[in-house]
Structure 1
Amino acid sequence: MARGTIRYWAAAKDAAGVAEEPFEAATLAELMADVTAGRDSLAQVVRRSSFLVDGDPVGRRAHETIMLADGATVEVLPPFAGG
């Protein structure tokens, strides 16, 4: 189980009510399940978001396959207008 920081941007930050928080999770899928449990508005934003793990884009890879390292930073990037 890795410990790290999850950072929320734009609509994800509004839905989470915080800019960042610590986490404990082994995979990105586990992390997303943990942070959205009981937070319906955040879950809606997360479903539409893209993610960076330590600065690297996750892209279309299955979240179950994204292993998190101790000290990882995960960023939640909702879609935004512009360019």
Structure 2
Amino acid sequence: MARGTVRYWAAAKAAAGAAEEPYDAVTLAEALEALRSRHPGELVRVLQRSSFLVDGDPVGARGHETVRLAEGGTVEVLPPFAGG
């Protein structure tokens, strides 16, 4: 089990009610499931539309269950941004 930090941006930050919080998970899928359990409601909807960076690398289309998290790592939650 790895421990690290989830950082929220824009709408994700508003939905979570915090800029960041800890994770304790092996994979991104496990971390996201824990976040959904802790924050039912709007954050669940925001996570469905979001992109993720793990230690600065885009997750892209990879299955979240295949993305391993590192001890002391960072997951960034990037909801869609408006503008252009």
TM-score above 0.5, yes or no: yes
The count of corresponding residues between Structure 1 and Structure 2 is 83
Q: Could you tell me how far 1:23 is from its partner in structure 2?
A: 1.0
Deviations 1:16-54 (A, max 9, x none): 000001110000000000011152210100000000000
Q: Give unmatched runs, 5+ long, in structure 2.
A: none
Residue of structure 2 in register with 1:48 after alignment: 49
| TM-score (ref. length: structure 1) | 0.96
Q: Does the alignment pair 1:8 with 2:8?
A: yes
Q: 1:73 corresponds to which letter in structure 2?
A: T
Written as runs of structure 1 = structure 2, the 5 A alignment for 1:21-36 is 21-36=21-36
1:69 matched to 2:70? The reply is yes
- Looking at structure 2, the residues matched to 39 and 72 of structure 1 have their Cα atoms a distance apart, in angstroms, of 24
Superposition TM-score, scaled by structure 2 size: 0.95
Distance 1:22 1:34 in 2: 11
Runs (4+) of structure 1 exceeding 6 A deviation are none
SS at 1:47 equivalent: helix
Tell me the amino acid that sits aligned with residue 6 of structure 1: V
Counterpart AA for 1:2? A
